[in-house]
Chains A and B, each alone.
Chain A
Amino acid sequence: MTRLSDIAAFIKSANAGATQLTFDIGFPDRSTFEQIVRSGVIDAAKIASLYNIDAGDVAIHHYEPASTIKITIPRATRSGGVDERDFDGVQQYPPLLGIEVGEISR
């Protein structure tokens, strides 16, 4: 089974303001991006299960010009709070690496 980390050009996370966390999954070309979008493997239910949150809290944008899927979820804690875990939000993406994506033709 192919994993998302095998085919994505990059997978990263960052803060989007003080209350949101955003993930960018970039693909090497438009065709790979479109196959992933069409396959529906990255949907709100999948992301919700990986982060133990409600699917209603997951926003997904298919950003064609950059062949990138953007996912935005609420931060677990407010940015820079006393209970901060990852000040810039840059290490929150690893649960996405193992998403199984099926066959992709290049």
Chain B
Amino acid sequence: MAGESPFLHALDKGADVILAGRATDPAIFVAVPLRRGISPDIAWHASKSIDKGYLATTRPQDGSPVIARMRGDHFIMEPTRESSVCSVASVASLTLHENPDPFEVAQPTGTIDTSQATYEQIDDFRVKVSGSLYRKAERPSLKIEGAEFIGYRTILIAGIRDPRLIERMDEFLATYRGLIGRAAKAMGISPDDYTLQFRVYGKDAVLGAYETAPVGGAHELCLICDVVGRTEEISGAIGTRLGPTGSRLDILGKMGGGGNFAYPFSPSLIKVGPVYEWGAWHIVDTDEAEMEALFPVTVEDIG
């Protein structure tokens, strides 16, 4: 993910319009003020404050873009629509967004530090921000992101309404998993070649390991059986066993040949397709020369 360097190079080469790949959001804005002589302290925090556009206003749903007017030791945030408002809270909130620490926003060449920043409402719709800092890193770094193919997914969706089964869901799933494992082995599929997950909506499907609500509160559950196989064939072969094995699994001993799974769809088995996972999400050290090589800039005249 690029920082400001390629944008600065493009400006230095005379570009009027820059088409770029993935970059950090403030990097897109910061190059112009930096080249106009605005201090990095002001330019970076101001750029961070406009990179989410209308989120800097009190009513984002109005969709007002914002302007940051940068001066020597401060910047002023204002909405572009007459009825919209930038407030101290709406402007200060921007460093909260998807960021672990509101006082620090990491960038490839340094960190935006808002710990000394002050926010002042100067009239009904504008906010003045002072005391921003940009702490330059000793060495520039880059965030590397990459996805990796891990296999093919097949899912089965089933409703479960029997309160006796809901109460013993963990036991049911453990037995079910064992039976599917045995079936896979009989088909010559190694445990390393697939994953099987039970996602139980009504129990802990959303929070997973972080769920602390007591079990058994729901009167119905949605079970999603989720198979990811190394190949499409493996995924499909295990998938075909999910329905018959689970619906006929009689842990109560009282089914009399009935079924456990209320299927909303027919066919019940759904091929989801290829699955990718984050394979790389790392910060790596770099230097200016390497960044120039990684993000080459070419200028074309489209007259």
- Min CB–CB distance B110 → chain A (angstroms): 18
What's the minimum C-beta distance from A47 to chain B, rounded to whole angstroms? 11
Query: Quick check: A82 and B98 within 8 Å, CB to CB?
Result: no
Q: Which residue of A lies closest to B153 (CB)?
A: A82
A76 close to chain B: CB less than 8 A: yes
Within 8 A of A (CB), among B81-104: 88-89, 92-93, 96-103
The residues of A that contact B197 with a CB separation of less than 8 Å are 82-83
- Whether B208 and A68, one on each chain, are in contact in the complex, defined by CB atoms closer than 8 angstroms, is no
Asked if A17 and B100 make an inter-chain contact with CB atoms under 8 angstroms apart, the answer reads yes
- 0/1 interface trace, chain B 199-218, chain A, CB 8 Å (1 if under): 10000011111111100000
- Across-interface contacts of A82 in B (CB, < 8 A): 150, 195, 197, 228, 275, 277
Measured between beta carbons, the chain A residues less than 8 angstroms from B228 are 82
Does A91 have its Cβ within 8 Å of any Cβ on chain B? yes
Q: Total interface residues on A, using CB and 8 Å?
A: 37
Does A53 sit at the interface, judged by CB under 8 A?
A: yes
Closest Cβ–Cβ distance, residue B126 to chain A (whole Å)? 16
Residues of B close to A92: CB separation below 8 A:
206-207, 210
Nearest B-chain residue to A14, judged by Cβ:
B98
Instruction: Check A51–B210 contact: CB distance below 8 A.
Output: yes
A41 to B207, CA, bound (A): 23
A66 touches B208 (CB 8 A): no
Contact at A85–B92, with CB atoms within 8 Å? no
- B125 located at the interface, meaning its Cβ lies under 8 Å from any Cβ of chain A in the complex: no
Cross-chain contact A66 with B212 (CB below 8 angstroms): no
Closest CB in chain B relative to A30 CB, distance in Å: 9
Contacts of B118 in A (CB 8 A): 65
- Give the distance to chain A from B223, nearest Cβ to Cβ, in Å: 15
Q: What does the 1/0 interface line of B270-288 toward A look like (CB < 8 Å)?
A: 0000011110010000000
- Report how far A17 CA is from B98 CA in the complex, Å: 7
Known: A65-B88, A80-B278, A82-B150. Is A72-B208 also a contact (CB below 8 A)?
no
The listed residue (B93, B99, B211, B281) touching A22 by CB distance below 8 A is B99
Is A61 a contact partner of B278 (Cβ separation < 8 A)?
Answer: no
Q: How far is the CB of A18 from chain B (nearest CB, A)?
A: 4
B248 to chain A, nearest CB (A): 27
| Interface contact A81-B210, CB-CB below 8 Å | no
What is the bound-complex CA distance between A26 and B96, given in angstroms?
11
Residues of B within 8 A of A50 (CB): 212
Using Cβ atoms and an 8 Å threshold, which residues of chain A touch B150? 82
- In the bound complex, residues from chain A placing their C-beta under 8 Å from that of B100 are 16-17, 20, 22, 59, 70, 72
Closest chain-A Cβ to B51's Cβ sits at a distance in Å of 16
Residue among A17, A49, A50, A59 with max Cβ neighbours from chain B (10 Å): A17
B209 touches A52 (CB 8 A): yes
CB-based contact B92/A63 at 8 Å: yes
| Chain B residues whose C-beta falls within 8 Å of the C-beta of A52 in the assembled complex | 209-212
How many angstroms between the C-alpha atoms of A76 and B98 in the bound complex? 16
Q: Are A76 and B210 in contact (CB under 8 A)?
A: yes
* B-side contacts of A66, CB under 8 Å: 88-89, 92-93, 96, 102
Q: Once bound together, how far apart are the Cα atoms of A49 and B213, in whole Å? A: 11
Q: Provide the bound-state CA to CA distance between A52 and B204, in Å.
A: 13
Footprint of B on A, CB under 8 Å? Answer: 14-20, 22, 24, 26, 49-53, 59, 61, 63, 65-68, 70, 72, 76-83, 85-86, 91-92, 95
19 residue pairs from A and B, CB less than 8 Å apart: A15-B98, A51-B210, A61-B103, A66-B92, A66-B102, A68-B89, A70-B100, A72-B101, A76-B208, A76-B209, A78-B281, A80-B277, A82-B277, A83-B195, A85-B199, A85-B205, A85-B206, A85-B208, A91-B206
